[in-house]
Structure 1
Amino acid sequence: MKEQKIERYTGPAGGWGALRSVTQALLRQDIPVKGARTLLSANQPDGFDCPGCAWPDRNHASSFEFCENGVKAVAAEATARRAGPELFARHTVEELAAQSDFWLEDQGRLTHPMVYDAASDRYVPIAWDAAFALVARHLNALPDPNQAVFYTSGRASNEAAFLYQLFVREYGTNNFPDCSNMCHEPSGSGMRAQFGVGKGTVTLQDFELADAVFIFGQNPGTNHPRMLGELRAAHKRGARIVSFNPLRERGLERFADPQDKREMATLGSTDISTHYYQLRVGGDLAAVKGMMKHLVEREDAGERLFDRAFIAEHTRGLDALMADLRTEPWAGLVEESGLTEAQLRAAGDVYAAAERTIVCWGMGITQHRDAVATIQMLGNLLLLRGNVGRPGAGPCPVRGHSNVQGDRTMGIWEKPPAALLDRLGEVFGFEPPRTPGWDTVESIRAMREGKGRVFFALGGNFAAATPDTHETWKALRQCDLTVHVTTKLNRSHVVHGREALILPCLGRTEIDMQATGVQGVTVEDSMSMVHLSSGINPPASPHLLSEPAIVARLAAATIGERSRTPWLQLVEDYGRIRDKIEAVFDDFKDFNARVAVPGGFRLRNTASERVWNTLSGKADFFVHAVPRDTPSHRARALRRDTVVFTLMTTRSHDQYNTTIYGQDDRYRGVFGQRRVVFIHAADIQALGMKDGDWVDLQTVWDDGQQRRADRFKLVAYGIPRGNLAAYYPETNALVPLSAVALHAGTPTSKSIPVVLVPSAPIDAHSGNDALD
């Protein structure tokens, strides 16, 4: 076992540490030569799109268009390790469930379709036709199609996602919980109402022109490392980089570009943030409101900071916003943001001095109760100076999964617009269901209550990604059937229904051979660029199917006789699928021709053209009060006898979403372990404890249900007092199902009220943690 230690990291993000990590990742998966060759095809015109994050590619021509965490994702997929029938013959599901998330995925690539055998408590091989027949039998036996739940991971390609939503709607339901529901759903909800689009408006070229980049609730050094290249270049030419984050994150402080020979030779680095504000967890809305209040006060004093011509022609609602800002007390903004009035004014001055500003944000914004309101306040800030639809400016929600944005574009949405349903019915000759479906949290509730009886997942790790772990696991175990399309073993496969299937699919790095030859799929990145992805490696097993083929064969088995869609013909040539996508979505006109161009094409973004598809026909200013009745406020009022902290869940540097690549978090100085909780040193002292002590975390909620995660090591860290941070999925059990963002339904995993209690001696614990 690797040594467990806490050791302060003093280097920059990137640099030699990143290169060493790349080498270790390739060696760990036993693919140093093959892995290096594979990496040279990542994000290339004739190669594959990185299966990691959705940050765009600079030029599709560089020899090195990958980052450290992208290497980990590629290496994990291209691994020489195999999890075949022999693995399942050696272990019962009970034995597999006792292993860690890291151990499960570390077994390697799945090789055969497997079905759960209750008598032996093992997964055993099953033929593909028998597997499809089993799923079809369950689906067709349901008295109501709305008793089936169809989850989608953001790694599914456009072609797979399009066929999937078509099949499910022809089957008869809009039950499409997906990873968007758990991450950037508030971004879409907030921006659609404000700008008429649910996507960011900027491109990589805008980062070359921006005078300022504001970053809220995002850690690009771990979650989107290639973004650091754009921030580094912006800083070097004099742009202001203003970061708001409760944690001191190394990727927002300093970065050494591994492709810069001079920087690497001299052990140098480049500063990233020119201004770094450590606000309280959830204090972003108050902080942005403070910045705008400062601008209004300067305007009222006679300065001309607002873009009055833009506001008059393109917006609505400024007077109400300004009236609200004038009456907002500074004391409340300071208290709720955790920043001083001077800091808020200084941040406002940076914004006022910039002609062109980009505002970026991540899940540190979206996973809060008032996420939609916060995003609309960020939109207000941009609109005041005309920073939407201007080169070098605009909103930039930074998505996670490599095609999570494309999946939504393809129709993976539980609340589809009528226009999409109309077009699907017209093109494919059926009447799509009109009743809105269940999102992720609603699906968990439905399965728990017996209303959702079949659960099908196109990728992902639902059991580990979702909130309220005990309730989610109960819900999955109540299903008649659970099915997972996947490349590797994960927690969701050992938390299963009465019957269960594991269906192994091709990875993004692998050659996809169909009847007419080798196929490529398409993806859409965070900035609406659509491009081809073609694998280069032989499949990990001859028994693997592609995701489009799995969907098409399942559709043929389930609804083939009553469907006019030629499912099996479509997957013979993915160009045929793209022709159908073009027939449904106007923005994909000449899809096959346009995507054949290296780098692909950008989808139209009306807001970037200053065309506002909103109810008012304008870009709307929204008025929102500073939240003063959050769950943490209420918990502190309820538990005056003890200290209530606000916990934010976070990733380590050795993970991507729920995939754990290793036990280290290099930039935060954590090695060989994950059960740690970051806390201010003064809070440790106030609790009468010391750095390194062990504690249990308990949620303070008003439903009478106990939620806990046991035995976490206290780690003194740069975080505001009263706030904590710890890794997920270990802390997902603390997030109640009812803790969701208003108007979006996203779990509020970044703002959970908890108390800390000393852990009992280790032999008093019955298992690893509260997830057992």
Structure 2
Amino acid sequence: MPETPSIRRYDEPAGGWGALRAVGTHLIEQDIPIKGTTTLLRMNQPEGFDCPGCAWPDPKHTSSFEFCENGAKAIAWEVTTRRCTPDFFAAHSVTELAGWSDYDLEMAGRLTHPMSYDAASDRYLHVSWEEAFATIARHLTALPNPNMAEFYTSGRTSNEAAFLYQLFVREYGTNNFPDCSNMCHEATSVGLPQSIGVGKGTVLLDDFDKTDCIFIFGQNPGTNSPRMMTSLRNASRRGVPIISFNPFRERALERFQAPQVPVEMLSLTSTPISEALHQVRVGGDIAVLKGLMKVMVEEDERARADGAAAILDWDFIRGHTTGIEALAADLKATTWPDIEARSGLTRTAIEDAAHVYMRAERAIVVYGMGLTQHRHGARNVQQLANLCLLRGNIGKDGAGICPVRGHSNVQGDRTVGITEIPTPEFLARLEARFGFKPPQAHGHNVVTALDAMRRGQSRVFFAMGGNIAAAIPDWQVTHDAFRSLDLTVHVSTKLNRSHLVHGKEALILPCLGRTEIDRQAGGRQSVTVEDSMSMVHASRGMNRPASEHLKSEPAIIAGIARATLGMRSVVDWEGLVADYDQIRDAIEAVFPIFQGYNARIRVPGGFHLTSTARERIWATPSGKANFLPYDGLAEDPDPTDPDVLWLTSVRSHDQYNTTIYSMSDRYRGIFGRRDVLFVNEVEIARLGFAAGDRVDLVAASEDGIERAVRGFELVPYAFPDRSCAAYYPETNPLVPLGAYDPMSFTPSYKGIPIRIRPARPAGEAF
């Protein structure tokens, strides 16, 4: 049952008994205490299935309990006994369902049948798979230009499904691949290659056992990748300093109680995680990074002038990098008053952190979407790379840069071809393997796809998983764009908001979940995924499918391809879907990095996709790693307007991306509700409000469009000045479609200038 709304102090550590209670509660709520427990024991095991949640890697030697609290919630969500059948849709119109909360929509249960929207009754009606495929084919073949269709991908899609998807879409004739990566770590994919030649991290899980210090920027591991806490706990207990930079004092960054360690559980003790936790102002990360590097560069200059040991790794810098002179000049020109004002930290705090980093022979720099989802996200990532390069912390054991990706295969999808900007080399290999000429022109990302839809230049939208209508910015503009389309199609496991923000015709296609047996003509199949550290391994479902009418994602793609392309297709869709080994052979032919694919995934733990940067081979035009200075510090609220605050959107602890597992967020003391705005007491008083007041959040945009979310309660919270926070995706309507990083097109969900106003009735102008 939903918890009674309240706000109360929560003092327990991350993990621990609170996590175990939460797991039990969610298994019972979905009526699967026995089946759910049995399923969890197979998750992240060599012969089991990969967690459908986060992309944190598995250890070489797994224990019996290789799952975390949020992974268990994802399993409860998928394995639930609840079913969303045609009878459910007959009982509820789309207009009615649009008024339900996201939590209530997904609690309707697993989708069981293909459904088609009927405008006359405002309901989804059951259709056969053949009818659904024919509808999609009719719309796609009627388009005068293939570029008028958009093909979205979620990070839960396996390597096999993603490869078939891009194969079909390119044979159809477009590179329009708006992808969930565009909204999270695209700043990594764009920023890092310019710095070190690859758009992925350079560390392995073993490096956490060898490092001398860990710096964490804009990442909340206790909620977004809880299995990471094992590595952080082990490092802390062997004396490794962990320094964190985050606007929130996230509980997991403070202390953690390991549920798998009986001594901690029974003694009610916990392990401190961060030696220092610096609450940086929202949008102030570049200022912090430039401050850290300024300390290092200037102290190195003094040390060398005095004949002392150098602070920077000059052998590495001279042998492997370019651009150090420009970076040093920029840092010298950056003043401490500006750094302190923009970061919200004192010079002393930054100097202390820099000295910890300077003393470490080997350092790992971890970051999450707190750095990437800004108007300068790619620049943030490049400054992190600069920090690593100054001390040679890329390409040696126990060191490196570590972007923490979100969904379980968001990185793998990119590796096997889900990209709107394919390289000529990749397209040539695709043509050589399959015999058709792929389109060469770059396609749409999420932002440009939404803009094309808004302008009427795209007419069909197909989504392979995800909940894009909730995930995208600027709902007032973008939801209208979806409703103007001729057809929207969603491959899904559960009902969500995107099914209710639909085109003139709409289809819901139910697919197998990660935990379910996938049986094709060639027998039982496995799929593969790539984790955050480029480890590729197999995933094999164990449970009976939720409905006999479900199809696997590869089978759905093949069915659509056959219906749409017909006899002109040169691809053996039936053969590929009958035996996924054939898909993996094709991936290996197109991407040589997967050499020996089928044999290597049969080895427990899988295999690592080699990172050139980890080997200190720099795949950049210069042939070296590049120091890339940034002329500035960050965006900042208008200093002449004291009413403007910088809002960051956050996940609750009972949430994964847009999936809401409950309305609570226990680590922050929020229970049974999500309509809150976290602001410090000084800011609340300065703006003329009191704790508990209801306010409306109004975007400080200047394009003439009123963007607001209403009726949020002010919650006093230790938070930096001129900053505030509220839950994602509820605050996405405040982000203008044009508010994105110009390098990566990542929307600025973590940096939204707003004003707060006394709450007004809906419909009343501001």
The separation in 2 between residues aligned to 1:558 and 1:636, in whole angstroms, is: 55
Q: C-alpha deviations, 1:117-152, integer Å up to 9, x for none?
A: 111111000000110011011000000000000000
Shifted more, 367-376 versus 75-84: the winner is 367-376
User: SS of the residue aligned with 1:456?
Assistant: strand
Q: What are the residue-to-residue correspondences of 1:85-96 with 2, within 5 Å?
A: 85-96=86-97
Q: Which residue of 2 aligns with 1:38?
A: 39
Match of 2:361 in 1: 355
Task: Within 5 Å, give how 1:753-764 maps onto structure 2.
Answer: 753-760=753-760, 764=761
Q: Distance in 1 between matches of 2:121 and 2:639?
A: 49
Displacement of 1:687 = 2.1
Note if contact 1:636-1:643 (Cα within 8 Å) is conserved in structure 2.
no
SS at match of 2:578: coil
In structure 2, what is the equivalent of residue 709 of structure 1?
A: 709
Which of 520, 539, 543 is equivalent to 1:514? Answer: 520
The alignment status of 1:401 with 2:417, answered yes or no, reads no
| 1:11-26 aligned within 5 A | 11-26=12-27
- Taking structure 2 as the reference length, the TM-score comes to 0.98
Asked whether the 8 Å contact 1:649–1:728 carries over to 2, the reply is: yes
- Equivalent residues in 2 for 1:322-471, closer than 5 Å: 322-471=328-477
Which residue is 1:51 aligned to? Answer: 52
Post-superposition shift, 1:327?
2.2
Residues in 1 aligned to 2:466 and 2:212: alpha-carbon distance in whole angstroms: 38
Aligned to 2:656: 656
Alignment of structure 1 residues 290-309 onto 2, 5 Å: 290-302=291-303, 303=308, 304-309=310-315
- The match for 1:4 is 5
Residue 201 of structure 1 corresponds to which residue in structure 2? 202
Letter in 1 for 2:710: D
Contact 2:646–2:754 under 8 Å retained in 1: yes
Matching residue's letter, 1:78:
V
Amino acid at match of 2:329: A
Partner of 1:101: 102
Aligned to 1:248: 249
Q: Judge conservation of contact 1:696–1:709 (CA < 8 Å) in 2.
A: yes
C-alpha distance in 1, partners of 2:471/2:689? 32
Equivalent residue for 1:560? Answer: 566
Aligned residue type for 2:663: Q
- Tell me the equivalent position of 1:752: 752
Alignment-derived partner of residue 600 in structure 1: 606
For the pair 1:734 / 2:734, whether they are aligned, the reply is yes
CA distance in 1, matches of 2:692, 2:226: 30
The farther-off stretch of 458-467 and 59-68 is 59-68
Q: Greater shift after overlay, 685-694 or 171-180?
A: 685-694
With the length of structure 1 as denominator, give the TM-score of the two structures.
0.97
- Residue 691 of structure 1, CA deviation: 1.1
| Secondary structure at 1:163 match in 2 | helix
In structure 1, what is the equivalent of residue 700 of structure 2?
A: 700
Contact 1:53 1:399 in 2 (8 A): yes
The corresponding residue for 1:765 is: 762
CA distance in 2, matches of 1:452, 1:77: 33
Task: Please tell me the residue identity of whatever aligns with 1:602.
Answer: H
Instruction: Check whether the contact 2:157–2:413 (CA below 8 A) recurs between aligned residues.
Output: yes
> 1:323-352 CA deviation, whole Å, 9 max, x = no partner?
221222111111111111101111110110
Identify the residue that residue 523 of structure 1 maps to in structure 2. 529
Cα offsets for 1:682-728 (capped at 9, x unmatched): 11111222111110000011211110000001000011011010001
Q: How does 1:78-227 map to 2 (within 5 A)?
A: 78-227=79-228
**Between the two proteins, what is the percent identity of the paired residues?**
58
Distance 1:60 1:673 in 2: 40
For 1:673, the equivalent position in structure 2 comes to: 673
Pair 1:28-2:29 in alignment: yes
Could you tell me how far 1:398 is from its partner in structure 2?
0.2
Q: Deviations over 1:268-296 (max 9, x none)?
A: 00000011111101111111111111111
Shift of 1:59: 2.9
SS in 2 for 1:507: coil
Shift in Å, 1:636: 4.5
Query: Secondary structure of 1:571's partner?
Result: helix
What residue number does 1:644 align with?
Answer: 644
Q: How far, CA to CA, are the matches of 2:383 and 2:75 in structure 1?
A: 37
**Contact map agreement 2:339 2:633 (CA 8 A) in 1:** no
C-alpha distance in 2, partners of 1:751/1:310? Answer: 35
- Aligned residue identity for 1:765: A
Deviation at 1:2, TM superposition (A): 2.6
The CA deviation string for residues 495-542 of structure 1, in whole angstroms up to 9 with x for no partner, is: 100000000000000000101111000000000000000000000000
Aligned to 2:725: 725
Determine the C-alpha separation between the residues in 1 that align with 2:633 and 2:355.
24
Residue type matched to 1:676 in 2? V
Q: Check conservation: 1:740, 1:746, Cα contact below 8 A.
A: yes
Whole-angstrom distance in 2 between the partners of 1:267 and 1:90: 49
Tell me if the contact between 1:150 and 1:455 (Cα under 8 Å) persists in the aligned partners. yes
Residue 40 (structure 1) shift = 0.3
Please give the alpha-carbon distance, in whole angstroms, between the structure 2 residues aligned to 1:423 and 1:569.
20
Task: Give the secondary structure class of the aligned counterpart of 1:301.
Answer: helix
Distance in 2 between residues matched to 1:320 and 1:327, nearest whole Å: 11
2:485 matches 1:479: yes
Cα distance between partner residues in 2 of 1:16 and 1:77: 24
The Cα RMSD (Å) is 1.2
Query: Which portions of structure 1, spanning 4 or more consecutive aligned residues, are displaced by more than 4 angstroms?
Result: none
Code of the aligned partner of 1:236: R
C-alpha offsets along residues 276-321 of structure 1, whole Å, 9 cap, x if unaligned?
Answer: 1111011111111111111112111124111111111111111111
Q: Over residues 530-578 of structure 1, what are the superposed CA-to-partner deviations in whole Å (9 max), with x where a residue is unaligned?
A: 0000000000000000001001111111113111110111100000100
CA offsets, 1:641-664, max 9 Å, x none? x51100000100111000000011
Equivalence for 1:504? 510
Q: Aligned to 2:401, what secondary structure does the other structure show?
A: strand
Alignment: residue pair count: 760
* SS of the residue 1:451 aligns to: coil
Q: What is the CA deviation profile of residues 35-92 of structure 1, one whole-angstrom value per residue up to 9, with x for unaligned ones?
A: 0000000001111000000000113631100000000001100000000000000011
Inter-partner Cα distance in structure 2 for 1:116 and 1:332? 55
Structure 1 Cα separation of the partners of residues 751 and 69 of structure 2: 29
1:627 CA drift (Å): 3.2
In structure 2, the partner of 1:285 is: 286
Structure 2 CA distance for aligned equivalents of residues 501 and 374 of structure 1: 39
Extract unaligned runs of 5+ from structure 2.
none
Contact 2:160/2:580, CA 8 A, preserved across alignment: yes
Q: Is the 8 A contact 1:370 1:627 kept in 2?
A: no
The separation in 2 between residues aligned to 1:371 and 1:357, in whole angstroms, is 22
Distance across 2 between alignment mates of 1:131 and 1:4: 42
**What pairs up with 1:256-267 in 2 under 5 angstroms?**
256-267=257-268
Return 5+ residue gaps in structure 1 as ranges: none
- Assess if the C-alpha contact under 8 Å between 1:556 and 1:568 holds in 2: no
